[in-house]
A and B are shown apart, each in its own frame.
Chain A
Amino acid sequence: MDAIKEAINSFCSPVAIFTTAIFMFALFMAFPKQMTNKWVAGAIGLGVVGFFIFGMQDAHFKDIVGKADNLPIVGMIFIFGYFTWFAMKKAVENDERIAAGQPTWEKTESEEKVLVFPYLIYIEFVIALLYAAALVYWAILVQAPLEDPANPTLSPNPSKAPWYFLGLQEMLVYFDPWLAGVLFPTVIIVGLCAIPYIDNDPKTSGYYCFKQRRWAITAFMFGFWILWLVLIMVGTFLRGPNWNFFGPFEVWTAHKVVPLINVNLSEFFYIKWLGIALPQNWFIRELPGFAALFIYFILIPKALERTVFKKLYERIGAARYHILIALTFMMIALPLKMYFRWAFNLKYIIAIPEFFFNI
């Protein structure tokens, strides 16, 4: 038992979890039919439930997962898992119907008509009762997680953002606060607002489907599951005091010390590769970083525009293409930077402490 826990603890690290999540995600997107099969999906679901049951035997795991504040996050895993499965399942069914020349599932269903009462209102009412009952039982069984009176001179350790911001807080590990705390949230909101304007194709609206919108769905689901939900789960269950990473069965102690050995790109470039001292002038010093960003955000999109994405470019036009590419590349930049950190201990691509500008 302890050996298993030990093994899980030592396996768990941000990179392992992130990579596993990406792998599962890729599997799901590559083989939607197989993965939504009730046996496979059931096995995954049972696996997760089994893991929680196994984990709850451990006092520490139980303490963290059973915390009144964290219960909704546990619920979130199952609820989002279920709805993702459900949507994908319907999409796969519809894909098959379309391939066979049949109308979609939604189309068949929408041709039938029933009365609002009793067939809708009544069922909704019963659901509302159950929902109310669930809230009452929850309130009785789990006490409100009240803590010490707020003390401005004493921050709790770990200090955690509200659960829905934990993804952003997790990004703070890898990015400068102005990026993780200001730019990314803005871009996420603006980007979500921009989706209907970038993709204004009315095709496939009104029914579940996957094949016809493979890339759009994959991109969105990647952002939602990997860059948002997984980071929230990591932030909730695996980040302990001092925001250190802890395995699920590891005791949270504020005294854990981990080495901080990250270096900037400029140091890689000048000290490690060229073997010379860092230039005094910040612009020259950070030139490699500027160059890297220029290549990533300007040259590569330009090259793609003429080669792989030529058709796309022609179809949606220059304005949409550039917005789409900028948003997409920003989104990809996030895991990329994280992997650079894990692989090379890269701290910042551009680091200008002279005026607090770091990327």
Chain B
Amino acid sequence: MPSKLPILYNLKKTHFWFAVASVILLIGLVWMVFKDSSREWKGYQRRFMAYMEQKAENELQEAQKAVDQKQLEKLNADLEAAKKAVAENAKAIKTAKGEFEQATFKADNAKANFQNLKQFQDSDKYFYEEHRVAGEIEQAQSYWDKIQKREVELEQAKLELEQKQAEMDAKKAALGTWTAKETELEREIARLTRDITTVESKIKKYKATLAKEILNAPMLDFINPSLRIQQIVVENLHEDYFFAKAEKVDRCVTCHLGIDKAGLEDAPVPFNTHPRLDLFLSANSPHPMEEFGCTSCHSGSGHSVSFTTAAHTPRNEQQAEEWKKKYHWEEMHHWADKMLPMQYTEASCAKCHQGTVEVPEAPKLNEGRKLAETYGCFGCHKVEGFERWKVGPGLEHVQSKLEPDWIVRWLQNPKDFRSSTKMPQIFHLSNTSDPASMEKSNAAIAGIAAYLMKHSAPVVLEEPPVKGDPAKGQELIETIGCLGCHTVGGNAANHHGPELSGLGSKVKADWLYSWLKDPKHYYAKTRMPNLRLSDQEASDITSYLLQDKNEKFESTRAPYVKPEAVHDLALVFMTGRMRYEDAEKELEKMSYEDQLQLVGEKTIAHQGCFGCHDIAGFEDAKKIGTELSFEGSKDLSKFDFGHVHEIEHSRHAWIFQKLKQPRIFDRDRVKPYHEKFKMPWFGFTDEQAEAVTTFVLSLQKQDIPLKMQKVLSESEQETEAGRLLVSKFNCNGCHTVDGHEGKVRSIIEDLGNAPPVLTGEGAKVREAWLYHFLDQPVTIRPWLKYRMPTFGFVHEELTTLVSFFDHLSNMKTNYIGDEMPVTSQEKMEAGQQLFEMFQCMKCHKSNPDPALSASFLAPDLVMAKHRLRSDWIVDWVYDPQALQEGTMMPGFFPDGQTYLEDVLGGDARTQIEAIRDYLMVFEPGKEKEEKPVQDHPAQQ
């Protein structure tokens, strides 16, 4: 090897660059490690620990205050004394200790000896068994001998061990006597300061120390870091990644550290407790955290542990701005399943809670569903699981009700006639308010009116036979039950039916009178029930309602319709299915009236009027709207935002905007008239639109496993069918039922005059009676002016309602009725005696005493035998307040005791049974004979 190499290039430059490159790389590597280990969530965990430490410090002070200082001082002094005493006997204690240690050593030795022997013995037993089974008698025998021999040794070793242990225990006890006092005092002190110790250990847990920092340092944090990602693995729910399904993993709790801990309600976000621990997260709530996780309800990216990538969604622009500043938040474009903004979280309830009219504890979702039902969303949009009725009045006989001119003026903007109407505005909206479109719209409206007049059949109407008194009419409306559905005047307890305003500018007396007498005469499918009005009553109400006129509306005139506009619109409809020239020829053959008819028919088809109204010629027409069954999980790219850039690019923002301004997405678009968006404007408030948005968002395609869903039992399904009817016919407008307060109760001063509360009705009345009552109501409470209307339910509806009430009271539906209780002459007589003694008939009368105020009046007892369940009567008399809080029915048996000790041996229950038995046959001679009720409808 040559000692010196020839130098061809100067390497100094290379050295320099080597140094530079090394430094650059080193900096890069350090930066990389630092960046990799400094994570957002660690900051949150540090802050949480600091917060908890602070909280524990406060608790510590509290705990220290709570300790009885005097007692503690005394104990400490005693302890001091005890220690002194021990020190004085140090020598003796030392000897005792030595002896104890010696004994322990011996015991340990004995134990080892015994255990060794046992090991050998067990091993030999195994070989003995093996050989014997294999038939190797000789070997087996040799093992057997060994076992026999060792058995003796083992016995001895065991005895030895026990003896040594006994000695050891004795020595220990001897030693203990010297320090007993001290130990006891120490225990006492510990007991006194237990709370402090607990808090102190808490502080230790949360306190930041150098050792913890070292364990949290990069590269060392695999050992036992105090900062670590927390996660919930939800076994039964899966994240669908299209090509693979993975168990749902939610790491939200990495930062939301106190979410399931009670007591942190006031902690700063994100450490605070979930606001509804009773419903969610806690182990005994219906949705424990381990089973449901977080994103199953809130959505978002459960795997992610940073504020932005978890796909948090702000509730509004303002919050978005705040987040951008505070958390450097940005929208996660690449995560489809973003978190639901807080105001829409209830949409997730429907993932598992399906098939029910209402979802418990989800008021906004329920409100949205109810609004969708009320405003007839399902008339145009198919939504799986939401088949509903047509919400508007039938127009098959409309020519007998309305003038075509009125229809034209109404359709301009229904809210001009009645601001509370549910009929939406269809024409002259933002995308059709230019003069050319308005011309076409007016032609279309004229066409609709013409079509409806021609394609509706007249009905026979009756003029009011007597002169009506408006004042009486008003009184009737306010007292007999109209307010159970309608808003009239200032009485706005219900908005179920149309507000009864401006009728004088709408209908004629003959129509209104005939309608009031029998709504089904005009429209067979109407939900309006029959209040069984007399001719006089109907005339009074008619005259009252017709008094109210809408002057402003009356002053409007139907707009002029250009024949060319009708022609042009007809042409547009016709060229849809034929060539232009053929259409022109066809149109030339048609009269103006025919053209108008054509425009009317096509417009009704185009706008889907038949979604809410029954219209002749559209019996089998298909819904015109987009199917919304899975709208909540529809891909965002399928929502057409058009040129509307000022709203957030999200599902909920789009739906909300569409509800508020249905035509907004046509803005700045060039579109022919008949291709423009046609969803009408309902005039929703922000709150309403938010509720409906929640509902629409809840319509999702889901593959939640069955066991995670709320599956309805048969009886629950029947209950839900009943709930739907209750909603359809607005039972809740008058009655308190199914946990909802009767709405008219809010405007009735003396609640004794209010329609009855139906809580527990299923347990109270017999099925057969209820069936007939719902079919043909009879008077139960003679003093009540509110009338139970005749709804004209069909058989299925009647049985559904009966089952509904039974299920609400956990009763099994049984039309046969319970057996008559066996009674005796003695009981009967006692019953009658008690009946008179308690003066039952004072309140329970069929012709009530006018001197009594309404709240003292009670149902006619003559019907009790057909109406009431015998068990219920007993429970009721036993303790009325338990069944109906606040009832005026007196409790004659306080605490289940009777004060009549001489009747029936003084037994309260027997006495009540006696009253019940008497009731079952009670029939005062002067009472009018009631129409007997048939008992077995099921057999019919």
Chain A contacts to B: CB under 8 angstroms:
112, 114-115, 118-119, 122-123, 125-126, 129-130, 132-133, 136-137, 139-140, 146-154, 157, 254
Contacts and interface: CB of A to CB of B under 8 A. Distances in A.
Given A122-B18, A139-B32, A149-B241, A115 B5 contact: yes
B457 to A, nearest CB: 49
B651 to A, nearest CB: 15
B32 A136 contact: yes
Interface in B1-47: 5, 8-9, 11, 14, 17-18, 21-22, 24-25, 28-29, 31-32, 35
Given A133-B21, A150-B243, A140 B31 contact: yes
B24 A133 contact: yes
Given A150-B242, A153-B242, 6 more contacts: A119-B9, A122-B11, A126-B17, A133-B24, A133-B25, A154-B637
Given A114-B8, A137-B28, A152 B35 contact: no
Interface in B218-268: 241-243
Contacts, number: 62
Interface in B698-714: none
A132 B25 contact: yes
B585 interface: no
B18 A129 contact: yes
Contact of B635 (A132, A146, A154): A154
A126 B25 CA distance: 11
A148 B21 contact: no
A148 B334 contact: yes
A114 B9 contact: yes
A116 B624 CA distance: 81
A130 B35 contact: no
B335 interface: yes
B461 interface: no
Contacts of B35: 140
B524 to A, nearest CB: 46
B28 to A, nearest CB: 4
A134 B83 CA distance: 71
A129 B32 CA distance: 16
Nearest to B25: A133
Contacts of B243: 150, 152
Contacts of B8: 112, 114-115, 119
A349 B14 CA distance: 61
A130 B27 CA distance: 12
Contact of B28 (A115, A125, A133): A133
Contacts of B336: 148-149, 151
Contact of A129 (B9, B22, B334, B637): B22
Contacts of A129: 18, 21-22, 24-25
B837 to A, nearest CB: 79
A14 B256 CA distance: 53
Given A136-B28, A140-B32, A147-B334, A130 B21 contact: yes
A120 to B, nearest CB: 11
A117 to B, nearest CB: 10
Nearest to A112: B8
A212 B219 CA distance: 60
Nearest to A148: B334
A148 B338 CA distance: 12
Q: For B29, B242, B635, which residue has the most chain A Cβ atoms within 10 angstroms?
A: B242
Contact of B24 (A119, A123, A130, A146): A130
Interface string B532-565: 0000000000000000000000000000000000
29 contacts: A115-B5, A118-B14, A119-B8, A119-B9, A122-B18, A123-B14, A125-B18, A126-B14, A126-B21, A129-B18, A129-B25, A130-B25, A133-B21, A133-B24, A133-B25, A136-B28, A137-B28, A140-B35, A147-B334, A148-B336, A149-B241, A150-B242, A150-B243, A151-B242, A152-B243, A154-B635, A154-B637, A157-B637, A254-B637
Contacts of A137: 28
Contacts of A126: 14, 17-18, 21
A112 B8 CA distance: 10
For A122, A126, A150, the residue with the greatest tally of chain B CB atoms inside 10 Å of its CB is: A126
B383 to A, nearest CB: 22
A129 B336 CA distance: 41
Interface in B627-673: 635, 637
A152 B244 CA distance: 12
A151 B240 CA distance: 10
Which 7 A/B pairs are nearest by Cβ-Cβ distance? A129-B21, A136-B28, A133-B25, A133-B24, A148-B334, A149-B241, A147-B334
A115 to B, nearest CB: 7
B179 to A, nearest CB: 64
B335 A148 contact: yes
A123 to B, nearest CB: 6
Given A133-B25, A154-B635, A118 B11 contact: yes
B32 A122 contact: no
B537 to A, nearest CB: 62
A136 B241 CA distance: 30
* Among B28, B29, B241, residue most surrounded by chain A Cβ atoms (within 10 Å): B28
Contacts of A112: 8
A148 B5 CA distance: 60
Contact of B242 (A125, A132, A152): A152
A124 B243 CA distance: 44
Interface string B853-871: 0000000000000000000
Contact of B14 (A122, A139, A150): A122
A59 to B, nearest CB: 14
A169 B31 CA distance: 40
A242 to B, nearest CB: 13
Nearest to B11: A118
Nearest to A157: B637
Contacts of B635: 154
Given A130-B24, A154-B635, A136 B335 contact: no
Nearest to A145: B334
Interface string B900-930: 0000000000000000000000000000000
A8 B155 CA distance: 104
A149 B243 CA distance: 9
B295 to A, nearest CB: 14
A112 B9 CA distance: 12
Nearest to B17: A126
Nearest to B6: A115
Nearest to B309: A146
A218 to B, nearest CB: 37
Contacts of B22: 129
Contacts of A147: 334
Contact of B334 (A115, A146, A152): A146
A154 B240 CA distance: 14
Contacts of B334: 146-148
A60 to B, nearest CB: 14
A331 B17 CA distance: 46
B591 to A, nearest CB: 42
A180 to B, nearest CB: 27
B9 A136 contact: no
A149 B242 contact: yes
A140 B34 CA distance: 11
Contacts of B18: 122, 125-126, 129
In this complex, the member of A137, A149, A153 whose beta carbon has the largest number of chain B beta carbons within 10 angstroms is A149
A333 B91 CA distance: 113
A146 to B, nearest CB: 7
A239 B574 CA distance: 41
A130 B11 CA distance: 18
A142 to B, nearest CB: 13
B407 to A, nearest CB: 39
Nearest to A122: B14
Contacts of B29: 136
Nearest to A151: B242
B380 to A, nearest CB: 26
Contacts of B9: 114, 119
A137 B241 CA distance: 32
B21 A140 contact: no
